Every structure is written in C-alpha cells, then in structure tokens.
Chain A
Amino acid sequence: MTPFSQFAIFSAIKIICVFAVTMFIVAYAVWVERKVSAAIQDRHGPNRVGPFGLLQPAADAVKAFLKEDFTPAHVRKVYYWLAPAIVMIPSLLTIAIIPFGSQLGHQKMVIADLNVGVLYTFGIVSLGVYGIVLAGYAANSKYPFLGGIRSSAQLISYEIAMGMSVIPVFLLVGGLNLSQVISYQTGSIFHWLIFKCPLSFIIFLVAMFAETNRLPFDLPESEQELAGGYNVEYSSIKFALFFMGEYAAVTAASAMLVTLFLGGWTLPIAGLDRPAATLGVGILQILIFLAKMLVVEFMVIWIRWMWPRFRYDQLMDLGWRRFIPLALANIVVTALVLCLVVK
C-alpha cells in the first residue's frame, strides 16, 4: 500500500469515527439538557421512550424526519435551504484539528495536524455567522431578520475577544499547533494553561457562550422577544439542523477549551501525559479527553438554566468595553513577563 492510500484510508476511518461520536454526543446533549433543566425546575423531564427516556433522541430524530417539510411562500428559497447546512458545517469542521488522543499504534489521534492550528479554527468558526445571517435574511420576515442581525453583531464582537484571549497561550507555547499546545501542558497539573493564563481562560469561556448562542447570551433567538429568532420560519429536519448545529458548536467549543486550557488528552498521573505506547493506554487517553469534554459541556448546559439573559446593550458593552481591552492588556502583560523572564 502506498503511503498516500494508507493516509487516505486511515483519515477516512478517523473522520467517520469522530463524526459518529460527535453526532452521538450532540444527540445525547439534548437529552442531558432536558434532564438537567427538569431537575433544576423540579420536574421529571423525558421519561417515556426507553428507560429514563434514553431513547428520546432517536424518537426526536424520527419525528424531525417524518414531519412535513414546510417551506413558507414568502421565503427566499435558495438561502432558506442553504442556511441550516451552513450552520452545521463549521462546527463539524473545527473538530478536525483537535487532538482527541495521543496515538493508537502509529496513527496520531487527530484528523489534521495543522501547523497553523488555531488560525484554522478561528477561520472556520467565523464562517458560522453566515448560516445565521442567511437564515435571518432568507426568512424574509421581521423577527428572524432581527435575530440574524443581532447574531452577526454578537458573533463578530465576541470572535475578536475570543481570538485575542488565546494569543497569550500561543505566546507561552511558541506555536499555533494544537499538539504542541498539549505537549506544553504535560508534567504537572499546574502546567495546564488554565493555571498559567487564567484570564485567557475566563475570556475564552465567556466568549464561547456568546459564540455558541447559549444563555446568558442567546440574544439571537431569545424566545420571549423574538419568538425564536432566526429559525422562526423553519420546521422539521431543517429546524432540527439548527438545533443540532448549536449543540455541535457547543461540543466543538468544549473540545477546544479542553485542548487549550485543560491539558487535552493528558492527565499528569501514571505517565498518561506521554504519547501512548500500548493500545490500551491510547484508548484510555481518548476516554480522558471525552470525559473532560463532557464535564465542560455539562457545565455549559447547567449554566443555561441558572442564569438570566443579558440585555443586548449589556452584551455589547461587555464584549467591546470590558473583554477586548482586558484581552489586549493580557497579551501585553504576558508578552512583557515572557520578555523579562527570557532575558
């Protein structure tokens, strides 16, 4: 087998596995969301389909596919069809560069080990805005339009804060490659970047909520004022795609957070922060990564049900007048410290 076809086959296997796991997580994230909200609001939540309602996601999927796919007469057809797909794609693409494990055999557990790593992530994430703007524009009615406008402003604003927040990380690591970021965080738990750049972590975390349109920053869809925002005119599987797009974005963002700040697939005990020598250790490291990611995702879901929504001007004020200056100061301070320490 030529090296190229080998590369192609292994990449295809990795892509299929990662896609399957991601979609599984997305489906069950919805279930967890409903269960958590129910617990917080002192209800039962889904409990009819399967034990503890565990088959609810499958039932929802069947429902979404079987429902009449209704296209309102006043929408702009092409964009109306395009928007749900565009919402879904960037989140899935981002996952491609995240190292979800060290290695199995000789295969690195990452789909694409790019040198420009994070630049890719931000480039792709910035495309996500189009889906929502197009959905708002395609709907050709006022609430979705307002949702789309709000969303594009919000996403662009927080993208800046998010991008700037991670610069100190790369100043420390000395490269944009994510595998490099992870190997930097090995050795001790205090090498994790959450302890080294706590401010970056906080800004990234908050910006992550804004970027994924989650409460307390879910202004684009805020159900009470905008009747659901940009996805009002959608139904059946197209609506479900928006819904899944949101959870896929949360999953991707959690994975990113884990990689950047929480040590990725490493644990600073029992040599688990070194590339795996055996198959078992390799699988264990993948499980560590998944566990960390799920914890973060659980927290994201939990926060949704504990916080009220920000007002739009507060959101913008927070982004532009608090986080961006803070992130800039963070960069300068980190650079100064590094400069003094190196000299």
Chain B
Amino acid sequence: MNIALLSHEWLVLLLGLGLLLADLWLPPAARRKLGYVAALGVAAILLYSILFVRLPAGGVEYAFGRMYILDSLALFFKRFFLLAALAVLLMSVEFAAEIQSGLTEYYALTLFALAGMLFACSANDFTLLFVSLELITISFYILTSFQRARTLSLEAGVKYLIIGALSTSFTVFGIALVYGTSGKLNFQDLAAVAPQLIGNKLFLFGLLWVMVGLGFKIAAFPFQIWAPDVYQGAPSPTTAFLAIGSKAAGFALVLRVLFTAVPAITAQWSHLLIVISAVTILYGNLCALPQRNVKRLLGYSSIAHAGYMLLGVAALSAAGQSAILYYLSGYLFTVLAAFTVICLVMRHAEGEDISRLAGLNQRSPLLAAAMALAMVSLAGVPPMAGFFGKFLLFKAALAQGATQHGYYWLVGIAILGVVISLYYYFGVIRAIYWPGNAPDPSPIPVSRPILLSIYACVAGMFFLGLYPNPVVTLTSKAASALQAETAAIHATATLPKAPRAAWTRSLLGPASAAPSRP
C-alpha cells in the first residue's frame, strides 16, 4: 500500500485543518492573509502534482482493496479541481469584505469541498462515491448560505439543502438496490457481473437512481430545478466553484459509473441519454433567454452546458469522453473568468442585474474584455475554447450517427441551442459595451493576484481554442484509461446480446413483454 497515492487529498485536508488551527492562534489582522495562504498552498499542491506525481507503467494504481483508483483520468481531474480551487480562493479573498464572520472557515470549507472532489474522481467503489459526494454537497450547503445577512443566500442554502438531501436519498437507495441485486460495490467487480444482470429490473432501477443523484450534481434535466436559485443566491466564489467543481465532479463520477462499472448496460441506454441531453440543452437555453440577473443567467447556461457535455456521454465512445474532458477544461477557464468579473463588479451590489454591467468598458477595460471573451467562449464562437469543445462533442456524436439516427437529431438540437444562446450571451456583451449611463462610473481596482488569475483564464480560453493539440492529447489519454479498464472487463466477460433499450420497454410495457431473466 502506497500512502503517496493519496497525497493530493492528504495535503489539501492538512491545509484546510491547518488554516482552522492558524485562525485560532493568529491575531485578527493576520487572519485576512489566510486566503492567500490557502491559495498558495493549493498552488503548491498543484505544482507538486504536475512535477512529481507520476503514474506507474501500467497507468493505473489501486489502494485499499481497489476502493481507490489513481489513473490518468483521476489525475486529470485532480489537477483540474486544484486549478479551479486556486482561482476560487483568489476570488474569495476579493470577496472577503462581504462575509461577516467565519472568513477562515469559508476558506477551510472550500478546501474540504475540494478534498471531496479529489476523492470523488478517484472513487472506484460505491462507498467512496457516496461519501465523497456527500462531503462535496455538505460543504456546499454551508458555503451557499454563508452570507447569513442576505435572505437570498439563506434561501439558496435551504433550497440546495432540501433538494440535495432528496438527491442523496435517491443515490443511497439506488446503491442499496444495486448492492442488493448484485452483491458488489466495487466498480470492476460490478462490471464483471453486470452483463448477467441486464434483465434484472431491480438492478436497472437501482442504477437509474444512482444516475438521478448524479444528475442533480451536474444539473441535468429533470434534476436542474435547484441550479438558478442556488447560483443566484450563493456568494459569487461559491457559485463559481459550484459551477465548475461540483459539475466536473459529477461528470467524473458519471463517466466512472457508466463506463467502468456498467458499460454493458450503458450501451443500452443511448436513447435515454440522447433524450436527456437534448431536453437539458433546450431547457437551459430557453430559460436563460428572459433572465436579467447575470448569476441566474449563468445558472441556466450551466444547465445548457451540462446538456452539451451529456452529448459526449450519450456518444458512448472514447472520442465522446475525451471531448467532455476537453469541454470541461475550456469551461473551467471561461466560467472562472466570468465569475471573477462578476465578483469584482458586483460585490457591493445587492442585485446582480445585467444593467450593472453598463459602462464596464469605461470603468475597467480589462474586466470588460475578460467578461466579453468569456461570453463569446460560452456561446461557442471561434476562436475561443468553447467553440473547439463543442466541435469535438458534436464530432463524437456525429461519428455515432451511423448506428442510430437519434444522434443526428441530437446534434441538430444542440446547434439550435447554440443559436439561441447567442442571443443572451450577446445581451451581456451589449450591456458591457453599450454606451449607457453607468450606475457607478468609478474605476474598479483590481488586485495583482486577481489580475494574474484573469490573465491566466483569458490565456487558457485562447490557448484551448487556438492550439488544442496538447490538451486533446491529454484528454484522450485520460479517457483512454476509462476505455482500457472497460476493455479489460470486456475481455473477461462475454456479453449476451440483448435488444437495445430493452429495459425501457420492459419497464413501461406489460410484464409478459419483459425479456427473460438469465
């Protein structure tokens, strides 16, 4: 057993606990600096991860009875989360004045949520999946309602708590059904027995409920109901972390469960995934149209983006999975840039109405440019990251179109979604550059770390849009880890041929139409 395998997680946890202890002993004036300490710590861990963490020759390592897995996918996500947390922590320091009490706890809880994400992307067992998901969610319940003086923040916290608790109960019930029918919790063990359980409706129902719980995390239709309210009410740094970290953790787990644990069953769920993806895209984009609150708008847009990424899941191919990872990378820089700007411009304002962006170009040309570029990237206009990500996703889906025509429809709907989204994203850009009367024409001071963070985000957006090759190599390698593990399982277990989407029919149709159980 190699304790160094879990080094990311331990280091982040130690950093979080260290911050809490430091808060106890430091004088109040020094505590203000703890946010920078946290950010520096995360940066150091990221650096350590890139410089020193190497995968062994086989590309995969397990720990604790295959409970924990470290492969290129896990490593990709770990660095992804560390990067996201770094920007979020810098943002939090700017936001500190808005948090009345418990500032250090805010940083510590952000780190705990980060630790949860790090564990989640290495989960190779339903037990670890559940507890790490819960760690993320519980931390976010608190982070969301951190501004107790704001009713909106409290409302967001309560809504997230109630809906999150509901989704948790779905997950845990689903896991119980999966375990009850298969007797396995480990993903590889499950993959070995899953082909025999294709006809077991209880097993399928359990899996479906696990997916419901994960659907809440990524805000896919019909489990998206919480997103706009929570995005709007939560403190801006938390919203950013929720938008990027929580969603990416959800996708990491979706990929693991669907393609490592039950690939045999996922292969039959393409209809379901196509429908969910299409509806999510349409819902997110259509609902975003009338929004005037920027954070709420981004909440709906995040639903739409979950839909685009589900398109990569529905494609059921390595190219699709790699495209999801690429899309997430682009989304990371884009969303962080957008929320950093929102955080700086609107931190003192009670409402985040789009009109508050008016005259931003005069107040701070840099922030205006960053926000505009982020919107362009979210809309998927070349040459930004968002464009190339969507391109890869659509390509992966079209490649599967030969097997099933649904994919053509799905890509059509997705393109329609992109066209709709142009309207509201450009509404934001218009507000920035339209020579309106700015509510507060004073220039916005930008601190040096934030400047750095914004430059990095903009650079990332351009880099991923213009020069995709290095990251494509990285993501396809990460996705291939998933494929390699799947292939290893396919080699050991022979798949019985079952009709496509047999399970939906058997659930809806009369009992006699059900396929015979093996």
| Chain A directly contacts chain B within the complex, with at least one CB pair under 8 Å | no
